[in-house]
Amino acid sequence: MRRPHDVGGLEAGPLDTEEHPSEPWEKRVLVMRQLLGRQQPPIISADELRRGIEDLGADDYNRLSYHERWTAAIANILLHKGVISVDELGQQMHVVETRWQQERAL
Amino acid sequence: MSTPQFTVGQRVRVRAVFPPGHIRTPYYTRGRVGTIASLAGIDPNPEQLAYGQLDHPPVPVYRVRFRQPDLWPNYTGHPQDTTIVDICEHWLEASDDA
Amino acid sequence: MTHNHPHVHPQQPDLEDAPFTEYQVMAQAMEELLLAKGLITAEAMRQGIEAMDAPNPADGARLVARCWVDPAFEARMLESVNSAAKELGLNLGQTPIHALQDTPQVHHVIVCTLCSCYPTALLGEKPDWYTSRAYRARVVREPRAVLAEFGTHLPDDIEVHVQDSTARHRYIVIPIRPEGTDGLTEAELAACVTRDCLIGVALPRKPR
């Protein structure tokens, strides 16, 4: 089997060589993972993150952006390890979304 | 402490097995024969780190050089072009291929 | 228990009226939960972002320029970039970075086909194209065609060697010194070298 991330040698289209500096939220995701990797033992190591991204499945792997894949993988691992619960995450996502909608409405 | 099994210049074949799981040996190298270019290091095994298994001994990791015509049908570059891949020792076996 | 302290978590959507995605919400929510649980701190996040913004490809260019004027330094770079870089005041951390030396006969290109491992400690943020499926899929299979998309055309008699960064080792290219640069200072030489030269998709050029 060839897994979705293992793309070396496959056909693909032209490159987009334009620069797209990362957005602040994207940098925060990288730093968040880095901090989680500094615990002893790591809450999420770089290797665990890579595995988590690979395990997203072909649909999500191909549909999501690089930083969205990181976000999805981090969420899955934190849930799997019981660092956060599904319920906590759902509630906090609702809080954030509501806050941002309210801020935009002002 | 793992003693490296392969030496620089040795011909090695990448195991043609295709399990699921976290693997850092790309699909395009499986079953291919290359040459040991150098020992990159003796490092923790990413296949174990990826599952939170931290207590295993490190493994030798080799830079393995593959001739591009050996990897790709109808390769159109220079015949001496190569791709070099860092591969853990347990993915390699000695090859008699010249 | 949810945590709604906008004054503690001042994170705004990146542009005030820009749409935000489900994943931005998820990322922000996780950050807030981790902060509330004391697993990360706001100060560590701040320092991490500063540290992420610190590396600069110009530092890679300085290393290359030093190689061009000092063969003994280049020899030390070929042993270990992390070690040699300390001589220029750079602390590149624990992840080993190796230098691949171009010659008039051989040109190197760096990729990570499996994810996009990159020498971030030296070069900073990865270019989007480096993480793209197109680059990762094609550069091992047809490096010259990929380089051509960057405007880089190699003579047919040069060998191309693609390094796939599949383990914990990271790589940079030491390109060859371009023609017509004999009189240049080291700083002027460094100005010839871009980030893309250190990845191998571009060749150094004397700025006009």
C175 CB-near residues (< 8 Å, 6+ apart) = C64, C102, C107, C193, C197, C198, C200, C203, C204
Verify cis geometry, omega within 30 degrees of 0, for the bond prior to A41. yes
In this prediction the pTM is 0.95
Query: Is C197 annotated in the active site?
Result: no
C65 and C36 in a single domain? The answer is: no
Q: What is the number of structural domains in chain C?
A: 2
Tell me the domains of chain A and their CATH numbers: 25-105 (1.10.472.20)
What ipTM was assigned to the predicted interfaces of this complex? 0.97
Q: Which of C67, C83, C112, C192 is catalytic?
A: C112
Task: Inspect the interface and report whether the beta carbons of B78 and C168 lie closer than 8 Å.
Answer: no
pLDDT category at C14 given cuts 50, 70, 90 is low
C118 and C145 in a single domain? The answer is: yes
C39 and C75 in a single domain? The answer is: no
Statement: residue C7 has pLDDT above 50: no
C41 and C135 in a single domain? The answer is: no
- Which segments in chain A show pLDDT lower than 70? none
User: What backbone phi and psi angles, to 5 degrees, belong to C204?
Assistant: -65, 145
Statement: residue C208 has pLDDT above 90: no
Least confident range from A97-101, B9-13, C166-170, C203-207: namely C203-207
Statement: residue C10 has pLDDT above 90: no
Residues 107-146 (C) with a CB less than 8 A from some CB of A: 111, 113-116, 125, 127-129, 131-138, 140-141, 146
The verdict on residue C182 lying in a domain is: yes
The C-alpha atoms of residue C124 and residue C192 are separated, in whole angstroms, by 19
Show residues of chain B in contact with C98, CB under 8 Å. 40
As a whole number, the mean pLDDT across chain C is 93
Statement: residue C4 has pLDDT above 60: no
Asked if residue C82 lies in contact with residue C92, where contact means CB atoms within 8 angstroms, the answer is yes
Chain Cα centroid distance, residue C61: 12
The C-alpha atoms of residue C14 and residue A20 are separated, in whole angstroms, by 14
Reading the block at residue B30, the tokens are 């499986």
Q: What domain range includes position C42? A: 22-53
C27 and C64 in a single domain? The answer is: no
User: C16 CB near a chain A CB, below 8 Å?
Assistant: yes
The C-alpha atoms of residue A8 and residue C117 are separated, in whole angstroms, by 14
Query: What pLDDT does residue C156 have?
Result: 92
Beta bridge partners of A93: none
Query: What pLDDT does residue C190 have?
Result: 98
C45 and C74 in a single domain? The answer is: no
User: C5 CB near a chain A CB, below 8 Å?
Assistant: no
C35 and C112 in a single domain? The answer is: no
Task: Inspect the interface and report whether the beta carbons of C164 and B83 lie closer than 8 Å.
Answer: yes
The verdict on residue C6 lying in a domain is: no
The verdict on residue C17 lying in a domain is: no
A71 CB-near residues (< 8 Å, 6+ apart) = A29, C23, C26, C27, C30
Tell me the domains of chain B and their CATH numbers: 11-94 (2.30.30.50)
pLDDT by residue (tens digit) across C122-151? 999 999 999 999 999 999 999 999 999 999
Task: Inspect the interface and report whether the beta carbons of C3 and A31 lie closer than 8 Å.
Answer: no
User: B94 CB near a chain A CB, below 8 Å?
Assistant: no
User: C194 CB near a chain B CB, below 8 Å?
Assistant: no
Q: Which of A43, A87, A93 to mutate to test the interface with C (most CBs of C within 10 A)?
A: A93
The C-alpha atoms of residue C120 and residue A50 are separated, in whole angstroms, by 16
Chain Cα centroid distance, residue C194: 11
CB atoms closer than 10 angstroms to residue B44: 18
The C-alpha atoms of residue C28 and residue A100 are separated, in whole angstroms, by 11
Q: Which of B73, B74, B61 is nearest to B25 (CA)?
A: B61
Query: What pLDDT does residue C6 have?
Result: 41
| CATH number of the domain within which C93 lies | 3.90.330.10
pLDDT category at B96 given cuts 50, 70, 90 is confident
The C-alpha atoms of residue C154 and residue C162 are separated, in whole angstroms, by 14
C66 and C105 in a single domain? The answer is: yes
The answer for B74, left when phi > 0, alpha when psi is -120 to 50, beta otherwise, is left
The verdict on residue C11 lying in a domain is: no
User: Amino acid letter at C72?
Assistant: A
C124 and C91 in a single domain? The answer is: yes
The C-alpha atoms of residue C112 and residue C166 are separated, in whole angstroms, by 6
Q: Which of C67, C117, C192, C197 is catalytic?
A: C117
Asked if residue C63 lies in contact with residue C84, where contact means CB atoms within 8 angstroms, the answer is yes
The verdict on residue C207 lying in a domain is: no
